[in-house]
Structure 1
Amino acid sequence: MDKKSGHYIYSNKSYDVSREWFSLTLLMVFASCSADLFSKATRTKADERDLRNSVFDFIIVGGGTAGCIIANRLSAVHDWKVLVLEAGDEENIDYQIPGVPTKDYRPILWNYRTEKNGFSCLSRPGGSCEVRTGKVLGGSSVTNDMKYTRGHKIDYDGWHNSGAMESLEWKFSNLIDMFKASEDNGDYDTLINSFFHTRGGEMRVQRFKHVDRYMEVFEAAFSEMGLRTHDLNTNIAEAVVNHQFTISNNTRVSTNSAFLKPVKHRKNLTVLTGVTVTKIMINTQEKSVDGVMYEIEKGKERPAYAKRETILTGGAINNVKLLHLSGIGPKLDLKKHNITTIVDLPVGLNYQDQVTTGGLSFAIADAASVSENQIINDFKTWFQNRSGPLASKGIGQISAFIQLYENFNAPDIELSLEGNFIRSDKFMLTNISVNVAEETTMPLSYYNLVNLYPILLRPKSKGKVTLNKRNPKLGRPVIQANFLKESEDLDTLVDSIDIALQLLDTKEMKRAEIKLASIDLFPCDRLRNRDQWNCIARHYTKAMSNPIGTCRMGGNSTDSVVDFKLRVHGIDGLRIADASVMPSHVRGNIYAPTMMIAEKASRMILKDWKENIGSYNNR
């Protein structure tokens, strides 16, 4: 036995014996649990074959942003059988068109809502905010805005716990290679800085070639305000950014298309879609995970067994639901649902999401009208040669990052732009509601309205996720987000709006005759100045759908769920490897950081289970 790891070390020869022993043991256990099905008298070779086919080395729960990368890396070891279980389906080519707003296509989304509270989302439907994450192979890498922003050095250095040596591995200087492991950067002016960027990875990263007139106007206006164009991914505090995106040949590249599709032919890799994992099977005596139960259709469940590890990559909301249903979580919360606690951990606490507010929109007076025939022809153009207006994201390619306070040499706010086309013959861009201004009915490339979203990059407010009270297994998890509960968050948002409004005073905006749109801001319309924007932020709060933190990593089981190797405290054979392990937000979206976490988790797993001489640890 390896005293350090607590695992038995087998030679290559004895490893095959151990595998047979493991399968035989599972067969015996399963037979004892289901004697009527697998008794000596009735057991057939087909039964035994089905059982053997349900045994894997690794089970990955969630084929999303992180799950696709980990599946690629682990299945590269030919001796390892890897199973990926995904609730969604394969992505469609329509989702790969840059101008198509996939974040609004509900069939490929987990459409969650936050709980109603008294300090945010007040004028949203039901007094709650939507949280939309991807429910499709590739997860949110299929539905997000594709921006490749890593965050700032100080974000990752803040994850380091000076009392835990293993946390040093999460300092930025030790993570840069994990970012570069996947990267294939296609912009030569960015590649000049070889410390931060590289080529040769699976994920293509580059800017769109298409730049329209209003992109140039807004970029010049930000420059008038003193911002300069920089590569944000080099730890810059302030910049106006023409973003890099995860695209290739003007086509969205998800982690599914970059990592999973190219290796689906591997015989040791099994990918099941349209299945929902309902429970983690835990040996309560040994505090170890045997595998999972998953539902292939309503009421019909099957087991899958993991000889080495079960890896959760379902995200900050779905991971919580599965862990709680399996008896891993806060004892008091589980007791409310009559669930026996196997491991008492703060699963579901520390929920964080970046937030913004609606209500700040700019009207473009001379925007060209768009006909139905034009849109149809533009779709044909994209499908034929990947060009035309749909081969871009329009004004959404530009944003500004601003440092409001002197505490850190890093940005506090992103001023993100998003175009929308309002049919002027119906609304005349006058007194339209915030919801209408945000409702995307056309591809992103066409717009006569620009919504400016001041994004709070490092929110102080925290919430929690718990099981549905009425139907824990089938109901949507309860998300008590607590957006803007901390007054500092509201102050930061409103301070950033004051800066955004300075755009109207620039020569570029005046020359282009871009003005503040006439938006119906009820019930805040009678207020003025800062009081009005305080009201707007509380009423028209908008979640960025970048949830993190519910399975945070740390050095102990009191305030964290996983250790710095992403292993769940107090239980063997269970690891979590996605944005849910992040202790705090980074100054950007969570797409690139989640890919980094997946790369790092893969290397940790390979190191834990594969010896240099080619033998393996076995649980």
Structure 2
Amino acid sequence: MEIKVLSVVCLCITSCVKGDLFTKATRSKALEAEKDVRNSVYDFIIVGGGTAGCVLANRLSANPEWKVLVLEAGEEENIDYDIPGIPTKDLRPILWNYRTERNGFSCLSRPGGSCEVRTGKVLGGSSVVNDMKYTRGSRKDYDAWHSNGEIGSLEWKFENLVEHFKHSEDNGDYDILMNSFYHSRGGEMHVQRFKYMDRHMEQFLGAFAEMGFRSIDINTNAPEAAVNNQFVISNNTRLSTNTAFLKPVRHRKNLVVKTGATVTKLIIDHQEKAVDGVLYEIEKGKEQLAYAKKDTILTAGAINNVRLLHLSGIGPKEELSKHNISVFLDLPVGSSYQDQVTIGGLAFSIGDVAIDENQIIEDFKTWFQNRGGPLASKGINQISAFIQLFENKNGPNVELALEGNYIRSDKFMLTNVSVHTAEESSLPLPYYNLVNINPVLLKPKSKGKVTLNKRNPKYGRPVIQANLLKETEDLDALVDSVDIALQLLNTKELKKAEIKIAPLDLFPCDRLQNRDQWNCIARHYTKALGNPIGTCRMGGNKTNSVVNYDLKVHGIERLRIIDASIMPTHVRGNIFAPTVMIAEKGSKIMNKDWKENKGNFL
């Protein structure tokens, strides 16, 4: 392919020189054109410098014979995002601020009747804006990705994936590290608990213990636990995949990283049925070319991967025809969309807490000077309980995630606080007098789809029909977990601390009672967690999957997808650790494939 592109330029240059038909300026331009083409040819192109993209860039560029290009639509990460105590859910400049479509069964009282879906638009992707929590899920989650009769899927059983989790792990808690089957040291990604603990964190852990929840490592396939979580941090500083994997190798001469670069289309050779490269824009409307001799790898996430594939003619025939896009491959790209979900409306008041703003300023100084103090923590957000709602399931269904917020006490005395006010972060996380209890549905049943924007397919926001809580089983699980959360108020620990339910304004559900009220609250105050998966799911055939077990797109050569969008189902935790694992495994697959096949496609 490289020869195919260069031969045209070389032919022009030869004829110019032999016939002396053109001026020196023209010959100079021709030579510059050849140079530009040569500089636009790489071995691998990574579309998306997010969680998975940064890991892949590190692993692939480790071979000095391979030239790697990373194209990221966002900008560079900066130090503002490094402070653990700073809430990241409102960092809009570095987020893809997408919204779900309105429906009749979720997000009813959210602005516009839809839920926000926030994923990272920055070098490092969602690892820059997530909660940093390190949870892998359970063995049975990964074993369910295995399909009987599919030999390739055996490699995705949990026992074969542990090594890929451990490869990048550097666990700093010795009580957890003692279990050497699950954990290791020496990788790029440092994992550790925060050392800072306040009295409220201890009270809630004590309350969970009263209810029978043990404090054990949730990453060892434990069915239930109440934990002070581990986070991906280094020296009490956020450790994104950009910081851990990409920054240390940016000096490599064979690695090129371009930010502010939006990929708009795949260059497809229809005769060879292969991807030659990509079109991308640094400036809107001005497209540039980049060619890949080996693989083009999509790591842009479960939403943006769909837009790029659909614009390139890869997707469901009936969807592409709506936009007059000629179909190259009829694949179920965009279907099976899933996101983990929680609800607002359940909050506990921990009494009047005096906040000294001057002390907060001093705490910022302390963090910048020695990475210490309250801001070197996430406050009550460090605590969560993983709950198994149904017996014999051998894994949690729901995580009760605690989230602190500060509400001025006069608001409690004057009027009820709205759910939206209770959720808005007004101060850094370690300063709070309100604890939101967010029951997170870890294994949702409801599925939706992602399609192109009807008015502006190329630049408009993709249409996300998330269908959150469409399945009644999802709603029942959330309401069941609310009942468990309310039992915390009956524990000796919280009674002694005089922690009570907060008087939130629950309109339009305020006149309902008991389970009917919580069904209503769940429908109205739904929250999408921004952990989307499934739109490019992995499987054995192109009827119900997009990539095979080697992460190659069905029916086309030199195109792979390596990020959370290939996950067939959610795991019982967040998607950060599994995404890093998928990138580690994907890089090993490619290393094996291309070292065995040393010839390049011409």
Q: CA deviation at 1:298?
A: 1.6
2:148 is the alignment partner of 1:162: yes
Q: Deviations over 1:162-196 (max 9, x none)?
A: 12100000000000000001000000000110000
Structure 1 Cα separation of the partners of residues 204 and 11 of structure 2: 69
Structure 2 Cα separation of the partners of residues 563 and 23 of structure 1: 27
Structure 2 Cα separation of the partners of residues 348 and 301 of structure 1: 25
Q: CA deviation at 1:103?
A: 2.1
Q: CA deviation at 1:31?
A: 9.4
For 1:516, the equivalent position in structure 2 comes to 501
Contact 2:416/2:504 (<8 A) preserved? yes
2:473 is the alignment partner of 1:491: no
Structure 2 Cα separation of the partners of residues 178 and 294 of structure 1: 32
| Map 1:370-381 → 2, pairs under 5 A | 370-381=355-366
* SS in structure 1 of the partner of residue 303 of structure 2: helix
Structure 2 Cα separation of the partners of residues 211 and 29 of structure 1: 66
Q: CA deviation at 1:425?
A: 3.5
Would the alpha carbon gap of residues 513 and 552 (structure 1) be closer, same or farther in structure 2, given more than 3 Å must change? Answer: same
Contact 1:87/1:136 (<8 A) preserved? yes
Match of 2:162 among 145, 163, 176: 176
2:573 is the alignment partner of 1:595: no
Identify the range of structure 1 (592-601 vs 430-439) with the bigger mean alpha-carbon deviation.
430-439
Contact 2:9/2:34 (<8 A) preserved? no
Contact 1:609/1:618 (<8 A) preserved? no
Q: CA deviation at 1:28?
A: 4.1
Would the alpha carbon gap of residues 146 and 349 (structure 1) be closer, same or farther in structure 2, given more than 3 Å must change? Answer: same
For 2:229, the equivalent position in structure 1 comes to 243
2:518 is the alignment partner of 1:539: no
Contact 1:207/1:244 (<8 A) preserved? yes
Q: CA deviation at 1:372?
A: 2.7
Structure 2 Cα separation of the partners of residues 543 and 405 of structure 1: 23
For 1:193, the equivalent position in structure 2 comes to 179
Structure 2 Cα separation of the partners of residues 103 and 450 of structure 1: 17
Q: Deviations over 1:94-118 (max 9, x none)?
A: 1000001122110010000000000
Q: Deviations over 1:567-617 (max 9, x none)?
A: 000000000000000000000000000000000000000000013xxx724
| Map 1:272-287 → 2, pairs under 5 A | 272-287=258-273
For 2:600, the equivalent position in structure 1 comes to 618
- Write the letter of the residue equivalent to 1:26: V
Runs of 4+ residues over 3 Å off in structure 1:
28-33, 40-43, 425-430
Contact 2:98/2:117 (<8 A) preserved? yes
Q: CA deviation at 1:376?
A: 1.6
* SS in structure 2 of the partner of residue 387 of structure 1: coil
Structure 2 Cα separation of the partners of residues 563 and 269 of structure 1: 27
Structure 1 Cα separation of the partners of residues 129 and 392 of structure 2: 34
Q: CA deviation at 1:311?
A: 0.2
- Write the letter of the residue equivalent to 1:357: I
Would the alpha carbon gap of residues 532 and 51 (structure 1) be closer, same or farther in structure 2, given more than 3 Å must change? Answer: same
Q: Deviations over 1:55-104 (max 9, x none)?
A: 00000000000000000000000000000000111111110000011221
Contact 2:352/2:409 (<8 A) preserved? no
2:219 is the alignment partner of 1:233: yes
For 2:593, the equivalent position in structure 1 comes to 608
Structure 1 Cα separation of the partners of residues 406 and 279 of structure 2: 46
For 1:301, the equivalent position in structure 2 comes to 287
Contact 2:10/2:34 (<8 A) preserved? no
Q: Deviations over 1:334-381 (max 9, x none)?
A: 0000000100000000000010100000011142x2233222211111
For 2:3, the equivalent position in structure 1 comes to 24
| Map 1:132-531 → 2, pairs under 5 A | 132-367=118-353, 369-428=354-413, 430-531=415-516
Q: CA deviation at 1:430?
A: 4.7
Would the alpha carbon gap of residues 70 and 578 (structure 1) be closer, same or farther in structure 2, given more than 3 Å must change? Answer: same
* SS in structure 2 of the partner of residue 196 of structure 1: coil
Contact 2:68/2:254 (<8 A) preserved? yes
Structure 1 Cα separation of the partners of residues 398 and 328 of structure 2: 41
Structure 2: gaps spanning 5 or more residues: 13-20
Structure 2 Cα separation of the partners of residues 121 and 344 of structure 1: 32
Would the alpha carbon gap of residues 32 and 533 (structure 1) be closer, same or farther in structure 2, given more than 3 Å must change? Answer: farther
For 2:542, the equivalent position in structure 1 comes to 557
Q: CA deviation at 1:23?
A: 2.9
- Write the letter of the residue equivalent to 2:325: I
Contact 1:608/1:617 (<8 A) preserved? no
Q: CA deviation at 1:496?
A: 0.6
Structure 2 Cα separation of the partners of residues 488 and 145 of structure 1: 27
Q: CA deviation at 1:408?
A: 1.3
Structure 2 Cα separation of the partners of residues 376 and 306 of structure 1: 50
Structure 2 Cα separation of the partners of residues 272 and 61 of structure 1: 10
2:562 is the alignment partner of 1:584: no
Structure 1 Cα separation of the partners of residues 414 and 146 of structure 2: 49
Structure 1 Cα separation of the partners of residues 527 and 413 of structure 2: 25
- Residues matched between the structures, number: 588
Contact 2:445/2:471 (<8 A) preserved? yes
For 1:12, the equivalent position in structure 2 comes to none
* SS in structure 1 of the partner of residue 336 of structure 2: strand
- Write the letter of the residue equivalent to 1:206: Q
* SS in structure 2 of the partner of residue 204 of structure 1: strand
Q: CA deviation at 1:442?
A: 1.2
Q: Deviations over 1:267-303 (max 9, x none)?
A: 0000000110000110111110010000011211100
Structure 2 Cα separation of the partners of residues 429 and 376 of structure 1: 29
For 1:96, the equivalent position in structure 2 comes to 82
Would the alpha carbon gap of residues 238 and 51 (structure 1) be closer, same or farther in structure 2, given more than 3 Å must change? Answer: same
Structure 1 Cα separation of the partners of residues 515 and 443 of structure 2: 21
Structure 2 Cα separation of the partners of residues 447 and 44 of structure 1: 65
Contact 1:429/1:518 (<8 A) preserved? no
Structure 2 Cα separation of the partners of residues 165 and 340 of structure 1: 34
2:111 is the alignment partner of 1:122: no
- Write the letter of the residue equivalent to 1:185: N
Structure 1 Cα separation of the partners of residues 139 and 183 of structure 2: 15
Q: CA deviation at 1:441?
A: 1.9
Structure 2 Cα separation of the partners of residues 163 and 69 of structure 1: 31
- Write the letter of the residue equivalent to 2:526: T
- Write the letter of the residue equivalent to 1:81: K
Structure 2 Cα separation of the partners of residues 110 and 321 of structure 1: 13
Structure 2 Cα separation of the partners of residues 262 and 427 of structure 1: 49
Structure 1 Cα separation of the partners of residues 182 and 388 of structure 2: 22
TM-score (normalised: structure 2) = 0.96
Structure 1: gaps spanning 5 or more residues: 1-21, 34-39
Contact 2:221/2:395 (<8 A) preserved? yes
Structure 2 Cα separation of the partners of residues 136 and 565 of structure 1: 27
Q: Deviations over 1:310-344 (max 9, x none)?
A: 00000000000000000000000000000001000
Structure 2 Cα separation of the partners of residues 113 and 279 of structure 1: 23
- Write the letter of the residue equivalent to 2:96: W
Contact 2:306/2:333 (<8 A) preserved? yes
